Amino acid sequence: MSLKKDKSSEKNKAFMRLALELANQNKGLTGLNPSVGCVITHKDEIISYGKTDINGIPHAEVAALKNNNKINFKNSNMYVTLEPCIHYGKTPPCTNIIIKNKIKLVNYSIEDFDKRTAKKTKSVLKKNNILAKIGLINNEANQFYKDYKFSKFNNIPYVTGKLAVSKNNRIYLFKKKITNEHSHKVSHLLRYRNQAILTSYKTINSDNPNLNCRIQGLEKFSPVKFIIDKDLKTKINSKVLKPYTNKTYIFHNKKDKNIINKFKKKNTKLIFMKVENNSFDLNTILKKIYSLGYANLLLESGPNLLKSFLNNNLINDFYLFKSDNKINLNNSVALNSFIDLLSKKFKKRSQINTFLDKEKLFRYQ
């Protein structure tokens, strides 16, 4: 390869990596639509850029092409992280505006996983004399879109679980912090990055958590809350049912109208579900959550519900916060069997960060 071609290739990769950085800014905030980044260049100079907006509209390509109405995009190059859509949904196809603006070349990193578009865009563009190239930094893009791919193929959310334990693999029976402020910030970042959060009524009743994001400036991105509560035992004065919180859904199997009416007066949406062997089918719960428009779900609960999800192979990613401190055997529960199960379900474990105060976070994938 000539030096000129090599430099050109590196420039193209740099533009696509910038597009991926743009996509990352709204990752987890775009509903069922993937977060996409787009960079437009002319003579190797960036003339516009865009990203998928909050809740998924407008798409990145539209945002970039409408960023400045004074720009003439004719004969420019586009770098987009995911195959531009060709189908009508809530918006017209992105290919329409690409063709209208007479883009010369469209680079997209990977093909879409949506059957309505997958592997079809290149021929649509070719018919309109627009060249399409695929594959720039595709390994990075595939990693970035693994959650979108999973949800698109399975029609359930990509589930991230989390739990904090002591050095001797125990948790307190009552509400008491195990980890430090650094891991708490990561927990709030996870709430920000996930559109919805799932827990059990036992966690609500014992801890009375807010389940919101408390990172300054990101509070409005707190996740919608889902509670598994077969018999509607959630305490009616719980923080998650307060009117100032985000919407809360409760999965239940109760037919008592008096109890149901009490919850309806709160900031609560009740979802009646059938029971099998005295419990809900977890896969059915996930399908319902996905149907409501939530593609990324944080599972934040006690070890029993986490264990049920693990046994059903319904957790895609897991964060284990592990303190360097031991806790006493009194008023605590041992989780050695849970840690063993976690290790069996996730063969690959890598330490991705070490927090101050020697606190460690392990991520299982």
Catalytic residue among 10, 61, 83, 111: 61
Whether 61 is catalytic is yes
Closest alpha carbon to 106 in 90, 92, 123: 123
Phi, psi of 223 (to 5 degrees): -75, 155
CA gap 298, 315 in Å, rounded: 10
Active site residues: 61
